[in-house]
Structure 1
Amino acid sequence: MRPHLDPGSAPIGPRFAVGGFGFPATTSRGVGRRRPRRPVGFHDVSNDYSARHLSVLEGLEAVRKRPGMYIGSTDSRGLMHCLWEIIDNSVDEALAGFGSEIEVVLHGDGSVEVRDRARGVPVDIEPKTGLSGVEVVYTKLHAGGKFGSGSYAASGGLHGVGASVVNALSERLDVEVDRDGKTWAMSFHRGEPGRFEDAGTPTPEAPFTPFEQRSELRVVGKVAKAVTGTRVRYWADRQIFTKGAAFQLDELLGRARQTAFLVPGLGITVIDEREAAPESHRFHFEGGISEFVEHLSIDAPVTDIWRLQGSGTFKETVPVLSPGGAMVPTEVERECEVDLALRWGTGYDTVFKSFVNIIATPKGGTHQAGFEQGLLKFLRAQIEANARKLKAGTDKPEKDDMLAGLTAVLTVRVPEPQFEGQTKEVLGTPAVRAIVSNVVAKQLAERFASTKRDDKAQTALVLEKVVSEMKARISARTHKETQRRKNALESSSLPAKLVDCRSTDVAQSELFIVEGDSALGTAKLARDSEHQALLPIRGKILNVQKASISDMLSNAECAAIIQVIGAGSGRTFDLSAARYGKVIIMSDADVDGAHIRTLLLTLFFRYMRPMIEDGRVFAAVPPLHRVVVMNPGSKPNETIYTYSEAELNAVLADLKKRGKKYQDPIQRYKGLGEMDADQLATTTMDRAHRTLRRVNVADAEAAGRVFELLMGNEVAPRKEFIVDSAAGLSRDRIDA
């Protein structure tokens, strides 16, 4: 078990906490210590690791051998985790009230630098090891203020291995500390302290000499007494990380923005110098998580942003170091602070972010479970008490009904939280669940008991929305149960206009959604009736991004598509129940056809998203032109289909170059109905010759924002987008 010191335990000695780390205070100055005795039988076999630092490298070598235990992976995700281990040290200082600016620089040589103006890493000698604070922090696992007695009330880098792990996995790491009127510096090579002989610009390829007699914390400059701060620059070790691993700017910006939301008043600047034209981005917010919720919300509001805050205490038994040096199990009292911002919208998607001491927990944990428990218990009681007014009947709402359309950010502050693994993706502290649940229930009770007109109106709308979602879920479940593929002995309840296929093999079956009855007639003759089904739609379907669930279900075209696919809709969608392995949207190659395709994709994205995420939605690519090349004599003419104006011009230029003649005028297909069955089969439906475009969603959150912008209720942002983007539009990008 790792040693933890508690504020209530007897201290080892006078303590201080600076620069993100705390150590026993000492009045001694200096940086050296006596060289340890060389182990018996030891032989120098490499300059990489000297005998001087065997004790240090014993711990860091384990990190290099098993990096996944500490950073999760050795790809770009692990690389970004290392960066945030360094940044979080500066963020912890800002949380403690020291330093309000952090700067992150992605250098062109592949290195990254983190700068802050906080208290600076300690430079005094740590008496137990005889090493300077800088060397202890960057070479010793489980060392630092986060294991100390009160250095931080709630820190992000809980496990205390972040800085040393990053050092172990770096080909070179340089630290500069402004403190006591001086700038102190130390360099490391794969975790071992020493000196690089740089000839100008710092580089990990520079000659490196490890310290043999004693470590040297160099003084490289002078600063004003009041100036403090830390600068860390490191080059990730390519022996550890995969070839394609790289710092992801979008991910870095997203996390920087997120941290700025969570720490009101903190400014974070990200500078990317990897391109010819450097980019600079700065994030600074004063509104905290309320602004965060506003940023995350994409649909129209049902309620204002509600802020729920509270705290609770709990007891836990932890090992505490006694004055005699023994670890003694001691019961201590902890305080857990809860801060929650939430808001319901008209949509049904849920956006939920949870954090512990500003560290994101994307896989949830006890705090998220407590939030869901408190919300479910309270709203169930409210709906039961108002069942007659809400016409809720005897059905009980479920968790998904409560979360539909909810955007929420939950943060808890807990001293020494228990996480599952160093990557800290799941909170495990059991007592947090009950505290969060009680705070949520108590704060919501005050909100629902409020006599203010706005509060009464909004709470009533929330209950109506939850009941509406409950009814839609029950209706969809009943609908789905009656829409399974029927066998030969059962009567089919599928739409009469569906032209189904004979095969019951889902993986081989395909559903073509075709535009209009004229295209249906040709497609019937062109299809493979064993595996290909046809469903015609009449004109442009409902824009479901604007419409409610009930409006969508009552729309004949939308209901027919959901019924034919047979897997339900929305939260109840069951991908395994889908009746077809592929859904292919086959619309005309004109502006109206593109609009219909967009409306259909909106329906799939909003109510049948697993189909898109599984890669089962496609768009057919019908040709735009038919070129008949006339061959001399009895040789049959050749037919060439082209799919764009550029391709047509290239084909015609090639024919002229080869002296080939072609029929003029060239046929231009305005719609699928202009093709005969053979042409449609050959170009669009025959598996051996057709071209399909798979629809996929790389980032569902970003795609959701785009759908809301282009298809949602707000007209002004859409108009602004069109005006701003018109100048940069290339006609070549239009397929119609």
Structure 2
Amino acid sequence: MAKKEPGSYGAGSLTVLEGLDAVRKRPGMYIGTTDSQGLMHCLWEIIDNSVDEALAGACTHIVVTLHEDGSIEVADNGRGIPVDVEPKTKLTGVEVVLTKLHAGAKFGNSSYNAAGGLHGVGSSVVNALSSRMDVEVDRNGHTYHMAFHQGHPGVYTDEDPQRPSPDSPFKKTRKNRPTELEIIGKVPPKRTGTRIRYWADPEIFNDTAKFDYEQLIDRVRQTSFLVPGLKITVIDERIRETGDVDTDVFEETDVKQAQSDPVERIEAETEASENPAKIGLERANAEDAQEQAQDPQQAVAAIPVVQSADSGASVPGHRRVEEFCHTGGIVDFVDFLSHGEAVSTVWRISGQGTYHEETQAVDANGDLHAQKIVRTCDVDIAMRWTNGYDTVLKSFVNVVATPGGGMHVDGFLQGITKQIRKTVEDNARKLKVNLKDPKMKIERDDILAGLVAVVTVRIAEPQFQGQTKDVLGTAPVKPLVTRITDKQFAELITGAKRGYKEQSARVLEKIVGEMHARIQARKTKEVTRRKNALESASMPSKLSDCQPGNDDIAELFIVEGDSALGTAKAARNSAFQALLPIRGKILNVQKASLSQMLSNKECASIIQVIGAGSGASFDIESARYNKIVMMTDADVDGAHIRTLLLTLFYRYMRPLVEAGHVYAAVPPLHRIALAGARKGEYIYTYSDDELAGRLAQLDAEHIPYADDIQRYKGLGEMDANQLADTTMDPRTRLLRRIRMEDAEQANDIFSLLMGDEVPPRRQFIVDNAEDFDRSKIDT
């Protein structure tokens, strides 16, 4: 044979990958990555298959179990994977689904009208990328079992059948030989379902791949919103609950019920509620059920404790269990996603339309041919505006999340943008919009600020961009969603629909306010840097700025009142300390609209001087000062002013608070003048308790002091040296840094204390009147 020349290229250079070998060779094509994201994607593929059964009306309960050995099990009470022989391949339905790419019941219209897994590669890909996969199917009164190793069917010999392992000896089924399903038990004739347990292959996934429990819970909760009535239970055997819980709240019947098969339990609950006549059938099958219960391989992992997703309680020492079931659909979902004060209630848009699509259909001979069919698209949208500026927009196709959006989201945004612009133009005078000004035009970002929306569509055989299904690509969906949104949203935003007039007015006012904020932000960006700011005549004349060139250490003192300003000017170090006086209490921005805030002179001055913009356009890198210090009197009015300032910072300049750039000055309340040998020395105290303690200490040490102890009523009573030593000089002053450890909790507190609703605030005062801690205030 002739020697092969280096670099030669011929047919012998070609490699043909058959079956699932291509998946193992190029896993990124199917699951995106081989890190944590790909690991989670495998789980989504299995869960989505069970969810598709729920969408088809055949499944009411899904149980996801995280085993201690790292394997994951997904069980459902759907119809079960077909166990009969597929005519073309001569293989059982279980083997076809789990070993053949692009095989399944979702390529036609007979079994699934709306499904998420449409490429027919989900389960088979997970199988290929697993070191072991065990499948159990309940159908026809039997439980069928089949095992796989790296996608190949065969038989494992486990030392302990109750503790299967991917390291157990495995015998692969011979190539091109059908693998018969093993019948391992009996079940009641009416019981159906599928249980898939798999071990991710460490040869495929890298060392950084980790399972994210919180991501799983978020996904499961999300699915329970999108499929009303579907119960999903997550069992984590890796973590034991050890918190102290009053076990009396768990009735004996609950414990017994929790120890039963969760799929069997949910079937019994559902049938009892929907059709009481079926209860007799369950009792008639009691003997079969008892036989099935005696076989340990027939049951999904027993739940040792019932835990509600809302209760947060569990029996100590038991594995973690969370259960989700919602009946309100995406309206409840939007309510769950909403934070802050609501500008509107949850608005609902729903409808149905049809479109034509040309697709490839399989004929009786197994050949593909073009076929033009009519598709039906169900549209369901829920939305709400809040007083914040963050946007929460989630979209789904057949309950599969599309984080990249797609045609359904484009259609929704096009519909609401068109109607909002039209309504603003029709009400320009009322909304104080100058239509002659080309800058005063509503942009999409103005509409999205504070919007919480869930956009869902259900269609047969959607076209996704890639197996990861991040973007919907079915083009006819966009005009269909636009038409439905355009018609129904017009009635809501114009107030034509009964009960929406006041809400639509608030929504329009907010959107117009966002437009003004965006325009104002552009103006403030022109004066963000110190050089430009000093040369600009638009800076507030009352600003006493510091010298340029010290941006890294520059400090802005927001001073209460003009009297304190005079003392502060003499006390400051003008090289890096700037002063901005405010007159009394600024506008309560929690109650005011965005346009009212921007028109307020004090608020606008603060935003302009800091120079980083406001709201969604805030850029902390453009801030002209490293520290923002609120310097107010140490009394109730001063505390109120600080609260109003913090509300402004939190609502419109939140990154400043989150990054720890906002401070509160701590001026003293008292000055003790020492006498005798230490005459001319002073001791400052910051509370009445501290004053009493220091006086007692001086008396005990026999240090004389003047009886006339000065009590400062305000900053203006200090001279420059006193103010510098106690409040402004970095070497001797005391500052309080304002932090935002939990932004959402802080937002709730701000809304409670500074919002429009008086009864909750009154109740808060009543409830906390007895729990009073003087150390938490300044006096």
**TM-score tier (shorter):** 0.7 to 0.9
Matched, 1:374 2:415: yes
Tell me if structure 2 keeps the 8 A contact 1:483–1:494.
no
Tell me if structure 2 keeps the 8 A contact 1:404–1:469.
yes
Match of 2:604 in 1: 559
For residues 362-401 of structure 1, the aligned pairs below 5 Å read 362-394=403-435, 395-401=440-446
Match of 2:398 in 1: 357
Cα gap change, 1:585/1:79 in structure 2, threshold over 3 Å: closer, same or farther?
A: farther
Distance in 1 (CA, whole Å) between partners of 2:49 and 2:553 is 55
Segments of 5+ residues of structure 2 without an aligned counterpart are 1-15, 242-318, 669-702, 706-711
Distance in 1 (CA, whole Å) between partners of 2:70 and 2:564 is 56
Distance in 1 (CA, whole Å) between partners of 2:102 and 2:732 is 63
Which residue, 114, 127, 131 being the options, matches 1:154? 114
Q: For this pair of structures, how many residues does the alignment match? A: 639
Cα gap change, 1:418/1:205 in structure 2, threshold over 3 Å: closer, same or farther?
A: closer
SS in structure 2 of the partner of residue 410 of structure 1: strand
Match of 1:105 in 2: 65
Matched, 1:265 2:229: yes
How far off is 1:461 after superposition?
4.3
Cα gap change, 1:389/1:600 in structure 2, threshold over 3 Å: closer, same or farther?
A: closer
Report the structure number with the largest CA radius of gyration. 2
Distance in 2 (CA, whole Å) between partners of 1:219 and 1:538 is 83
Distance in 2 (CA, whole Å) between partners of 1:286 and 1:87 is 20
Which residue identity lines up with residue 210 of structure 1 in the other structure? K
How far off is 1:412 after superposition?
0.9
Deviations 1:467-519 (Å, cap 9, x if unpaired)?
A: 4444444455455556664549834433345443444586x464445666899
Distance in 2 (CA, whole Å) between partners of 1:106 and 1:208 is 23
Which residue identity lines up with residue 106 of structure 1 in the other structure? L
Which residue identity lines up with residue 273 of structure 1 in the other structure? E
Match of 1:580 in 2: 624
Which residue, 154, 168, 175 being the options, matches 1:207? 168
For residues 445-460 of structure 1, the aligned pairs below 5 Å read 445-447=490-492, 453-460=498-505
Deviations 1:352-406 (Å, cap 9, x if unpaired)?
A: 2211111122222221111111111122223333434544331432223333443
Distance in 2 (CA, whole Å) between partners of 1:388 and 1:158 is 51
Cα gap change, 1:289/1:163 in structure 2, threshold over 3 Å: closer, same or farther?
A: same
Match of 2:156 in 1: 195
Distance in 2 (CA, whole Å) between partners of 1:533 and 1:708 is 31
Match of 1:81 in 2: 41
Match of 1:62 in 2: 25
Deviations 1:69-114 (Å, cap 9, x if unpaired)?
A: 3333344333332222211111110010011111222233333222
Which residue identity lines up with residue 176 of structure 1 in the other structure? E
Distance in 2 (CA, whole Å) between partners of 1:113 and 1:106 is 7
Deviations 1:276-317 (Å, cap 9, x if unpaired)?
A: 213322222222112222222334444443321222322333
Match of 2:589 in 1: 544
Distance in 1 (CA, whole Å) between partners of 2:574 and 2:358 is 69
How far off is 1:439 after superposition?
0.7
Tell me if structure 2 keeps the 8 A contact 1:543–1:711.
yes
SS in structure 1 of the partner of residue 83 of structure 2: coil
Which residue, 235, 239, 243 being the options, matches 2:199? 235
SS in structure 1 of the partner of residue 240 of structure 2: coil
Distance in 1 (CA, whole Å) between partners of 2:769 and 2:17 is 64
Matched, 1:171 2:131: yes
How far off is 1:59 after superposition?
3.0
Tell me if structure 1 keeps the 8 A contact 2:79–2:192.
yes
Distance in 2 (CA, whole Å) between partners of 1:237 and 1:305 is 45
Which shows bigger deviation, 325-334 or 485-494? 485-494
Tell me if structure 1 keeps the 8 A contact 2:129–2:151.
yes
Which residue identity lines up with residue 255 of structure 1 in the other structure? R
Tell me if structure 2 keeps the 8 A contact 1:101–1:268.
yes
Cα gap change, 1:80/1:561 in structure 2, threshold over 3 Å: closer, same or farther?
A: farther
Cα gap change, 1:478/1:77 in structure 2, threshold over 3 Å: closer, same or farther?
A: same
Tell me if structure 2 keeps the 8 A contact 1:192–1:210.
no
Which residue identity lines up with residue 457 of structure 2 in the other structure? V
Cα gap change, 1:304/1:120 in structure 2, threshold over 3 Å: closer, same or farther?
A: same
Cα gap change, 1:304/1:184 in structure 2, threshold over 3 Å: closer, same or farther?
A: same
Cα gap change, 1:338/1:251 in structure 2, threshold over 3 Å: closer, same or farther?
A: same
Match of 2:215 in 1: 251
Deviations 1:22-43 (Å, cap 9, x if unpaired)?
A: xxxxxxxxxxxxxxxxxxxxxx
Distance in 2 (CA, whole Å) between partners of 1:729 and 1:196 is 67
Which residue, 471, 474, 484 being the options, matches 1:439? 484
Which residue, 454, 463, 467 being the options, matches 1:422? 467
Which residue, 62, 85, 88 being the options, matches 1:128? 88
How far off is 1:267 after superposition?
1.3
Distance in 2 (CA, whole Å) between partners of 1:181 and 1:154 is 28
Deviations 1:632-674 (Å, cap 9, x if unpaired)?
A: xxxxxxxxxxxxxxxxxxxxxxxxxxxxxxx999xxxx99997
Distance in 2 (CA, whole Å) between partners of 1:493 and 1:449 is 38
Match of 1:223 in 2: 187
Distance in 1 (CA, whole Å) between partners of 2:736 and 2:33 is 35
SS in structure 1 of the partner of residue 539 of structure 2: coil
Match of 2:538 in 1: 493
Q: Percent identity at matched positions? A: 54
Which residue identity lines up with residue 119 of structure 1 in the other structure? R
Cα gap change, 1:226/1:551 in structure 2, threshold over 3 Å: closer, same or farther?
A: same
Deviations 1:166-196 (Å, cap 9, x if unpaired)?
A: 2233333222211111111222333333414
Tell me if structure 2 keeps the 8 A contact 1:317–1:329.
yes
Which shows bigger deviation, 214-223 or 552-561? 552-561
Which residue identity lines up with residue 122 of structure 1 in the other structure? P
Which residue identity lines up with residue 207 of structure 1 in the other structure? S
Distance in 2 (CA, whole Å) between partners of 1:113 and 1:368 is 33
Distance in 1 (CA, whole Å) between partners of 2:466 and 2:192 is 33
Distance in 1 (CA, whole Å) between partners of 2:643 and 2:557 is 13
Match of 2:698 in 1: none
Which shows bigger deviation, 562-571 or 529-538? 529-538
Distance in 1 (CA, whole Å) between partners of 2:772 and 2:64 is 34
Tell me if structure 1 keeps the 8 A contact 2:516–2:595.
no
Distance in 2 (CA, whole Å) between partners of 1:60 and 1:725 is 61
Which shows bigger deviation, 549-558 or 521-530? 521-530
Tell me if structure 2 keeps the 8 A contact 1:171–1:204.
no
Distance in 2 (CA, whole Å) between partners of 1:716 and 1:163 is 54
Which residue identity lines up with residue 429 of structure 1 in the other structure? T
Distance in 2 (CA, whole Å) between partners of 1:735 and 1:73 is 54
For residues 677-716 of structure 1, the aligned pairs below 5 Å read 708=751, 712-714=755-757
Which residue identity lines up with residue 68 of structure 2 in the other structure? G
Which shows bigger deviation, 517-526 or 556-565? 517-526
Match of 1:144 in 2: 104
Tell me if structure 2 keeps the 8 A contact 1:138–1:167.
yes
SS in structure 2 of the partner of residue 70 of structure 1: helix
Distance in 2 (CA, whole Å) between partners of 1:727 and 1:75 is 53
Tell me if structure 2 keeps the 8 A contact 1:76–1:245.
yes
